[in-house]
Structure 1
Amino acid sequence: MRRTRSSAALVAAAVVAGGLALASPASADPTPAGTFRQLVGVGSDTTQDVLNALAGDTVAGKDYAATAVKSASGAGLASYDAIEPGTGSTTSTIQTRSGGPSFLRPNGSGKGRLALSESLTGDKYPDSSGVSVKGQVDFARSSGGPSTAGTALTYIPFARDAVGVAVKGSALDKLTVDQLHDIYSGTLTQVEGVTVHPKIPQSGSGTRKFFLSAIGLTDATLSPNIPTVQENQADEVVTEDGALAPFSVGSWIAQNNGVAPDHSKDAAAAGAHLAAVQLPGDTGETSPVTKSNGKFIPVNSYYENATFGRDVYNVVPSRAIDPAGMFFDKDLYDVFVTSGSHTAALATDAAETVIADFGFLNEPYNGSINPNKHAKFGGLEESGVDASTPAAPGLKATPGDAGVKLSWTAPAATGLPVTDYRVTLTGLDGAVVAVKDLSATTTSYTFGGLALGTYTATVAAANLNGTGTAASWTGAVKYASTTKATTATTAYGRTPKVAVTVTDAHGVVPSGKVTVKEGSTTLGTGTLDASGKVTIGLSNHLKVATHSLAVSYGGSGKLNASSTTVSLKITKATPSIATTAPSTVSHTSRAKVTAKVTATGTTPTGTVKIYEGSRVIATGTLNGGKVTITLPKLSRGRHTLHAYYAGSSTVSAKSGANFTIRST
């Protein structure tokens, strides 16, 4: 059962009423020393203590091993403090993986997000003088939202906190937003005659950024005379009358209730407290905390206020919590994400009891990755990094048998390399049919086994900044067809034929048109009959040669187009020769011989020669397939002659039958 904010406060009150024993201040990175766990977090000190407890470590003398949060596979949290436990050093290093590098401890939300960003890019942390931290950080604790636009990082709300003002002296018991603005801009130096001594958390602190925004200032408009201090440590900061500093209310509650390592109880004993603030729109002041059974608990109305109430986040790489992605980290997802029927391990009743103990309010949106439910998106928080996402790939789609094959070329290079491709298929109604993430070296993918219909496929390249512009194809998915064709050697002048059969493997009767082409020239078309066959007659004047024909089926409502090639051999026509000549002629006269050459489908052209034996005695040229040739004078006697047609580019040569002329 999920708790609401009000019930979380009651849980906190019940716990403290139950006599939670105070222990000596203690806090540590994953214990015992040398312990390495799978899910490494760094950053904000506002949430470090509660994350340490949820990791199962000992916090303020209490062992939380029994309530350690883990993924379904048993992966646990490793939460590293913003400053070195025990010494308070801000220059110490941490080692988060066995055999990994040691690097400067990230102090604050901004530094935590920077370390996470550079864990992804492989760059050096915290700058070029540091070391590469690639793969060393899995999440960042953050008490504020993104500083950089983008979608590379998802800010998952974890709980509700508020920012109050820790003060000393009765003159600062009640403050307004305008007073805080003027104090921190440097224009108001006294309140009720008491000189104020404002302090501000270190650069990169989420509390610093949030507080300045709440009072209408930025780092640029903040008075340069205000000293920087480590956040949420009143003992070192709120020491004199008139001192004030922004402070996490949750941290104040946890420290002063003895739940978190103490950095404030001495200051509180000396009079430090959280001021009541006149919230925008109110006429009176609201205190951030109240007491129940001697223990501090949150004031819900202050936490809920839009000016000083804030969500605190765990920041993770967006691609690591995408179940459809190739970089999906199920352990990270199990621990941090609440989506649909999946509940984050950090949102269980046991975890939320711990969260309430540390002064935070539990929210029903703990673990949300929906921006409409308090989640946020941000870019890599690394200066100088190219924030662009890839352009659209070059996409080609080839329909297949109840599927489609997508092939693409990589987009132009950006500052960050392509890490993967997201391929998505949606139906005509826009519903997602399938999603596939592929490696950066993959340039094709086939969706198969689809129902017939119209689909849209998109391919988008992604880098660490997120997914780029998608290339898109929309078309029909049909069954494959197979086209087969045969021809027979055909003589010039006769009609060549292409016999075509189209089949498929799904019992669909092919229908539609078939086209025969040679190169870009269409030689013939035909329509398939009820058995998927058609015979297409071509021109009877194709040149004598072997022709390579492309036979294409145009497809139908259920079948894809298909094609094949076939060879067609056209040979020369075979002619017939008929001669007409006189049987006798005077030796003083010249006989005339008429030759007629015929062939199927064509009128032969060319020359005809009259032979006597092997000697040519006369020649003539055909005209309309006929020629009359005048012979020379023949000597007395019997002459045996024959006509010979020499042939052409389309008709073969042929010798005619012998005939006899008697010369008298």
Structure 2
Amino acid sequence: MQNSLFARGLALTSIGAILVGAAVAAPAVADPAADQYGQLRIFGSDTTQDVMQGLANAVNTAADENLLANYLAVGSLTVQIDAGGTMAPRANGSSAGRDFLRVAIGQTATANVARPGGAGNTIAVGSDAIGKIDVARSSSGPGANAAANGVLAYVPFAKDALTMAVKDGSPLAVVPWYIGKGEDTTSKPNLAAVYKGSVKYAYVAGSVGSYTYVGVGPDATLPVDAPEGTVAYQLRPVLPQAGSGTRSYFIVDVLGLADNNTSIPAEIRSASIVIDGTTYSVQEHDGTVMGLDQTVIGPFSIGQYVAFANNAPGVTDRRNGAVLLPLKATEGATAAEPYVTVGDGPLVKANPAFTAATRNVFNIVPSRLLDDPSTLIHEVFYGSTSLLCEQTATIELYGFLPIGSECGDDSIRAYAPTADNTSTVTWTPPTAIEVGASTSVEVVVDSKVHRQGGTVRILNGDTVVGQAAVAPHVATATATVQVPVTVTTDATSASLRAVFIPTLPGIVGSQTAVASVPVSAPTASFVSTKSTATIGGVMTVVGWVTGAEGGTVELWDGATRLQAYTLDEGENGFGFRVTAAKLSYAFQVRYVPPTGSNLAPSSSVERPVTVAKATPTIKASAATVSAGTRGKVKVTVAAINGVTPTGRVEVYRGSTRVGSGTLSRGAVTITLSSIPRGTHTLSVRYLGDTKFNAVRTTARFVVR
């Protein structure tokens, strides 16, 4: 009998040669060896602990490095996870692994994590969970926690099937069980009715090896037509421990009952059973309680059972005398065997034709890391060609069914963001930015749960133009950082936003609104000329602009614009010609960029120039006059390059001043006082002004 063969725990020594084409060494230790701590730590479901152990070994071998460290759901209460001696709680079950992961990545602050041995070993975890788990095994989907924008991703990798297990040789093995989802009856072998307590007895005639099914009922009263020797066996249905993915799947999805529905009797919900005076906890996929009592019946993973039967590497056989039963979904369906022989045996594999209760099994990972192609999470779990999904032979060896293109599907998300796990970021955007120059921007963040900080990036569109790390800020609600920003663009403005990426992948990132910030490309203006000049002299003042692309270069004297020149393409400067018309200048070159350009205006430093007074040319002439007539002297003090002398002119005969006048436009006619007859040489003296030196000349003056 096939079930009896499995119950004896037959050792299968040709697993590798038959199924994966290689000899198999002795089973490996359950948890990773002390010197083989992986980069990704995996806890959770009992259902998938063994197949994930096999897959971890296969992936690590293929990658030639310890990428995955898979920790079983059963065993010691804590496990060492690194060479430094860090200890982590052994999460026992899908919910325990999931909640351990949720706390570790900051999706929630605290959780109670179930460990082996029942409720008394549950432990609360908080910030001490950070870094201790990266992946959670789960034998069930997200259920009511499903959310399209969830921070966790449930990534399927295989299909499992669930059936019922009883003790080898149990009279319950001949009962034609069917699921009967949502049904409630007292007279049919309906599992939903069994777990609601409506069907409590199975009526079976005969003895071991020749049992015959008679019927079921709510009490020990045998049917009136029951054959002689019929026995009413009181059913003892059990459920695995609370938090088990199998428990949730079996109650809700298989039986169609509400999870932990109070219509399920308390003794069944308790996940414990008393046998011969001893209380036993019911661990999922462990046949201990079935092997001790022939009336115990409970759900069991076909995948786990096949792995036990195949003596798959790293697996501890926990059948303990239990065997699996054929099962059908409805009363009228045909029951399918849970497993089939591979070739001539003795290997077995899950029966693809068994469809009464099947489910995908999952690895739960942070959504952000799954979506990021640069992460190890993405490489191992994302898509049907991922490192994990490529190991189909290992999946079958451990009793599960490959799921083809469904493997690595990234569409199932859970745990929508909340205010508690959504970070915040605020900032003061710069008022302006110069291309190529570093501008410091202040950013304030709250990294929320566990406050482990993260990274702030300043983006111009989708281009990172600044980045700074945010250290953990456990003692303060927020952290403030200065982010150096450097922009390179031809545009006149930058569309800047601050983005915060939390360290913990369970914290939702945040970003500010986009700020339009004026951007200017740097230019530099220079001025060059001699430091001295003379009134009326022409100075060459060179204005030069580095970085100019068109635009106007202007020459200023203090607050007065003197000249301007429009630069052609390729020009960077211009030589201005300035006639010295005052005694000092403060030359400055200013650059005005062309309209629509992102070039920055610029100004040179002032260049002082000292101007010396000029010595003008003076001419004087006087016409001959008759005695008694007052003569006149015409005086011209010549302008120099348009700079015209001003001031007084005096005329002397000897030491006597005989006339004076004020220049107008550089000339003056002076009427002389009375001068006696004779020929006189007059001294004509220009007294100078602020720009011109004093000069003199003579004029011949005749009085007849």
Provide TM-score, normalisation by structure 2: 0.60
Counterparts in 2 of 1:50-61, with a 5 A limit?
A: 50-55=51-56
Counterpart Cα distance in 1 of 2:110 and 2:581: 73
Decide which moves more: 629-638 or 204-213.
Answer: 629-638
Counterpart Cα distance in 2 of 1:635 and 1:212: 145
**CA 1:206/1:567 → structure 2, altered by over 3 Å: closer, same or farther?**
farther
**CA 1:456/1:353 → structure 2, altered by over 3 Å: closer, same or farther?**
farther
Match of 2:8 in 1: none
Match of 1:525 in 2: 565
Match of 1:175 in 2: 179
**CA 1:641/1:46 → structure 2, altered by over 3 Å: closer, same or farther?**
same
Give the letter for the 2:92 counterpart.
N
1:266 aligns with 2:301: no
Match of 2:198 in 1: 190
Post-superposition Cα deviations, 1:175-222, rounded to whole Å, max 9, x if no partner, equal 233339999899954257448977655454434455566367765977
Counterpart Cα distance in 2 of 1:225 and 1:83: 27
Structure 1 residue corresponding to 2:95, chosen from 102, 110, 127: 110
**CA 1:552/1:338 → structure 2, altered by over 3 Å: closer, same or farther?**
same
Shift of 1:48: 1.0
Counterpart Cα distance in 1 of 2:465 and 2:240: 45
Shift of 1:596: 5.3
Decide which moves more: 386-395 or 613-622.
Answer: 613-622
**CA 1:657/1:16 → structure 2, altered by over 3 Å: closer, same or farther?**
closer
Match of 1:645 in 2: 688
Match of 2:208 in 1: none
5+ long unaligned stretches in structure 1: 1-11, 57-66, 86-91, 427-431, 505-509
Shift of 1:600: 3.0
Shift of 1:27: 7.0
Post-superposition Cα deviations, 1:614-661, rounded to whole Å, max 9, x if no partner, equal 9999997766566677889999998745222332xxxx2432324569
Counterpart Cα distance in 1 of 2:551 and 2:193: 81
Instruction: Find the residue that maps to 1:42 and give its secondary structure.
Output: strand
Counterpart Cα distance in 2 of 1:374 and 1:624: 93
1:29 aligns with 2:10: no
Give the letter for the 2:78 counterpart.
T
Q: How many residues align?
A: 587
Counterparts in 2 of 1:155-174, with a 5 A limit?
A: 155-162=154-161, 173-174=177-178
**CA 1:625/1:113 → structure 2, altered by over 3 Å: closer, same or farther?**
farther
Match of 2:392 in 1: 352
Structure 1 residue corresponding to 2:136, chosen from 120, 137, 140: 140
**CA 1:364/1:591 → structure 2, altered by over 3 Å: closer, same or farther?**
same
Counterparts in 2 of 1:360-509, with a 5 A limit?
A: 360-365=400-405, 368=408, 373-374=409-410, 376=412, 385-388=420-423, 390=425, 394=429, 409=441, 411-415=443-447, 416=451, 418-420=453-455, 443=483, 460-463=499-502, 464=504, 465=507, 468-469=510-511, 486-487=528-529, 499=542
Instruction: Find the residue that maps to 1:548 and give its secondary structure.
Output: strand
Counterpart Cα distance in 1 of 2:153 and 2:284: 25
Match of 2:307 in 1: 254
Q: What is the root-mean-square deviation of aligned Cα atoms in Å?
A: 6.5
Counterpart Cα distance in 2 of 1:171 and 1:378: 39
Shift of 1:265: 4.8
Match of 1:4 in 2: none
Counterpart Cα distance in 2 of 1:199 and 1:614: 142
Give the letter for the 1:93 counterpart.
T
Match of 1:63 in 2: none
Shift of 1:83: 2.7
Highest CA radius of gyration, 1 or 2? 2
**CA 1:569/1:302 → structure 2, altered by over 3 Å: closer, same or farther?**
farther
Shift of 1:413: 0.5
Decide which moves more: 172-181 or 483-492.
Answer: 483-492
Counterpart Cα distance in 2 of 1:68 and 1:573: 90
Provide TM-score, normalisation by structure 1: 0.63
**CA 1:580/1:492 → structure 2, altered by over 3 Å: closer, same or farther?**
closer
Instruction: Find the residue that maps to 2:182 and give its secondary structure.
Output: helix
Shift of 1:546: 1.8
5+ long unaligned stretches in structure 2: 1-11, 113-122, 167-171, 200-215, 220-234, 272-281, 471-480
Shift of 1:158: 2.8
Counterpart Cα distance in 2 of 1:374 and 1:525: 63
Give the letter for the 1:83 counterpart.
V
Match of 2:82 in 1: 97
Shift of 1:527: 3.4
**CA 1:16/1:25 → structure 2, altered by over 3 Å: closer, same or farther?**
closer
Give the letter for the 2:340 counterpart.
K
Shift of 1:251: 2.5
> 2:525–2:589: 8 Å Cα contact kept in structure 1?
no
**CA 1:30/1:563 → structure 2, altered by over 3 Å: closer, same or farther?**
same
Instruction: Find the residue that maps to 1:528 and give its secondary structure.
Output: coil
Counterpart Cα distance in 2 of 1:354 and 1:392: 52
Give the letter for the 2:686 counterpart.
A
Counterparts in 2 of 1:190-229, with a 5 A limit?
A: 190-191=198-199, 193-194=217-218, 201-210=240-249, 214=253, 226=266, 227-229=269-271
Give the letter for the 2:49 counterpart.
Q
